[in-house]
Amino acid sequence: MAGADQSKIRNFCIIAHIDHGKSTLADRIIEMTGLLTSREMQSQVLDNMELERERGITIKAQAVRIVYQAKNGEEYIFNLIDTPGHVDFNYEVSRSLAACDGAILVVDAAQGVEAQTLANVYLALDHDLDVMPVINKVDLPSAEPERVIEEIEDVIGIEAMDAPQISAKTGLNVEEVLEQIVEKIPAPEGDPEEPLKALIFDSLYDSYKGVIVFCRIKEGTVKKGTPILMMATGAKAEVVEVGYFGAGQFIPCDELSAGMVGYITASLKNVKDTRVGDTITDASNPCAEPLPGYKKVNPMVYCGMYPADGAKYPDLRDALEKLQLNDASLQFEPETSIALGFGYRCGFLGLLHLEIIQERLEREYNLDLVTTAPGVIYKVHKTNGDVIELTNPSNLPDPSEIEYMEEPMVKAEIMVTSEFIGAIMDLCQERRGIYDGMEYIEETRAVLRYHLPLNEIIYDFFDALKSRSRGYASFDYELDEYVKSDLVKLDILINKEEVDALSFIIHADTAYERGRKMCEKLKEEIPRQLFEIPIQAAIGSKIIARETVKAMRKDVLAKCYGGDITRKRKLLEKQKEGKKRMRQVGSVEIPQKAFMSVLKLDDK
């Protein structure tokens, strides 16, 4: 395929709100261009992590090359880049978009435009992509394609009159999508003779090949033996192999030239060297300037992760190291908790990222984890002028040393039908949101804009949003600046002893309510023991809430005769086993799940 005619290449992605059918359409396109027969296809080829398929989301960017025989008789090469679909991975999304020349916008014919749709479209437009709308799920009884077309034109402001009306599920009119890709998505540009300039939009670690770098060649040509330089990280290597993306496999080729999408391997051992957004150039003939837009992504959410079985501590380290090989944004460092023993303080891009890592550790590495409440990075300004970036509440300096504290804010856009505006405004109010405006995008729908503290949305904001709008609200946010805030450290005392793993930073106004809820929850979770156990929430030395777990009154078997002894032994063993799985804090045994239960303090 060397030196392929640029005019026959189309590099595009599909953008959509979650569940609008992005992956299904990708599957259908792959199937219809004959890359795989439907029998061979494991549904949703591109989401190839089990977790991705289960959650219906895309976590890592993927790409696939398809050959399409158009009605004009010409053969086209489509490079379809599947982007992560969640705000936690916004930066990755932006880099994937930067690797494309156009985007297919999938909109659900029944649901219409949603907050994430808008956010993604704007992101695509920011990257000068031509956006080509597609109306999906027209086979649903509730489909209103005409209304949705109008909405796309009104709300987004792009031409949608001749948008294909399809059912990705049944394959209806998908052919038309393929034709429109040829017509509407521009062919790539770039000069194969220029110095090499390639954009990294993802990378993954393979134990045989080392790091496999996913890239879009903007200028120049790369082949085996090219000495390459990552312009931001400074890493250097010699290319071992180049190739393109078959369905679920890597297919080597001679060279990749301007306009093409493919992969490079170069015996790199660590994805940290190949950061998403970095520019690859020819070390012997470097380009003058890197591609714009590179930034190093930093974790925004932190929590402690501890193995339920203390002996598994080294296993947890190994697992985190392995995951980090493929995920440069995952950070971790050892920490110790009095209650939970040895573990790691881990940093994530967001709560979804956290949940994914946690699930992968549990499933793929068979680890049983205890996770502490996630928190954001607070800036602590000390009286001596020092500023600490606080990721672990236990490290908060003594109040006398603190001048003031700052917390990160986000700019949030919430799209909601008019009947729920009041409910959502109440929610934002409760979460310390600052109203920033509202626009009606059509008669019955509005976009609400709020400034919200990040720590108010990392717990259960999304769930609360959905439940208060009966699922109709959608939500997107971007990080904003740090602001001064009246923050306190809330401690939990069990039997008068502080449990470090349960401490967290919270706004003074919500501390009381939160403390009360935590005590209530812990009361439910901590089994009765031989003595009465007070559970208290405290700010400094001031107790703000209290519950009591009453002493166990009775735990006795009335009968134990000859035939009962084996059973009695089993019962005692089970009881003892249960105790082993608890964490001893002072003289109190606390079940592992009590630590987790306080993460989900439902509104209702």
Positions in the binding site for another protein (CB under 8 A) = 530, 552-563, 565-566, 568-569, 571-573, 575-576, 579
Q: Which is nearer to another protein, 500 or 525 (CB)?
A: 525
Q: Which is nearer to another protein, 147 or 579 (CB)?
A: 579
- Closest approach of another protein to the CB of residue 548, in Å: 16
Q: Which is nearer to another protein, 559 or 604 (CB)?
A: 559
Q: Which is nearer to another protein, 212 or 526 (CB)?
A: 526
Q: Which is nearer to another protein, 483 or 551 (CB)?
A: 551
With 0-12 / 13-18 / 19 or more C-beta atoms within 10 angstroms meaning exposed / middle / buried, residue 287 is: buried
Cα 384–chain centre separation:
37
- Closest approach of another protein to the CB of residue 366, in Å: 24
- Closest approach of another protein to the CB of residue 531, in Å: 8
| Ordered DSSP codes for 284-325 | TS--SSPPTT-------EEEEEEESSGGGHHHHHHHHHHHHH
- Closest approach of another protein to the CB of residue 368, in Å: 20
- Closest approach of another protein to the CB of residue 554, in Å: 5
- Closest approach of another protein to the CB of residue 574, in Å: 9
Q: Which helix (H) or strand (E) holds 492?
A: strand 487-494
Q: Which is nearer to another protein, 71 or 559 (CB)?
A: 559
Of 152, 115, 17, which is closest to residue 447 (Cα–Cα)? Answer: 115
| Ordered DSSP codes for 527-544 | PP-SS-EEEEEEETTEEE
- Closest approach of another protein to the CB of residue 101, in Å: 57
Give dist(CA 482, CA 379) in Å, integer: 8
Of 293, 322, 300, which is closest to residue 201 (Cα–Cα)? Answer: 293
How many other β-carbons are positioned within 10 Å of the β-carbon of residue 601?
16
C-alpha triplet 458, 512, 589: angle, nearest 5°: 80
Burial call 467-488: b when 16+ CB within 10 Å, e when fewer: bbbeebbbbbbebeebeebebb
The tokens describing 480, both together, are 């904003």
Per-residue HEC secondary structure of 51-119 comes to: HHHHHCCCCCCEEEEEEEECCCCCEEEEEEEECCCCHHHHHHHHHHHHCCCEEEEEEECCCCCCHHHHH
Give dist(CA 286, CA 198) in Å, integer: 11
- Closest approach of another protein to the CB of residue 340, in Å: 22
Give dist(CA 365, CA 359) in Å, integer: 9
Q: Which is nearer to another protein, 470 or 569 (CB)?
A: 569
- Closest approach of another protein to the CB of residue 523, in Å: 17
Q: Which is nearer to another protein, 71 or 576 (CB)?
A: 576
- Closest approach of another protein to the CB of residue 587, in Å: 10
| Beta carbons within 8 Å of 400's beta carbon, 6+ residues apart | 383
Q: Which helix (H) or strand (E) holds 363?
A: helix 351-364
- Closest approach of another protein to the CB of residue 351, in Å: 31
Q: Which is nearer to another protein, 67 or 571 (CB)?
A: 571
Of 258, 313, 307, 244, which is closest to residue 287 (Cα–Cα)? Answer: 258
Q: Which is nearer to another protein, 161 or 556 (CB)?
A: 556
Q: Using the 8-state DSSP alphabet, how is residue 194 labeled?
A: S
Q: Which is nearer to another protein, 345 or 583 (CB)?
A: 583
Q: What are phi and psi of 214, to 5 degrees?
A: -90, 125
3-state SS class at 522: helix
- Closest approach of another protein to the CB of residue 586, in Å: 14
The tokens describing 471, both together, are 């699922």
Q: Which is nearer to another protein, 542 or 576 (CB)?
A: 576
Q: Which is nearer to another protein, 570 or 593 (CB)?
A: 570
Contact 387, 406 (CB under 8 A): no
Q: What are phi and psi of 183, to 5 degrees?
A: -75, -45
- Closest approach of another protein to the CB of residue 569, in Å: 7
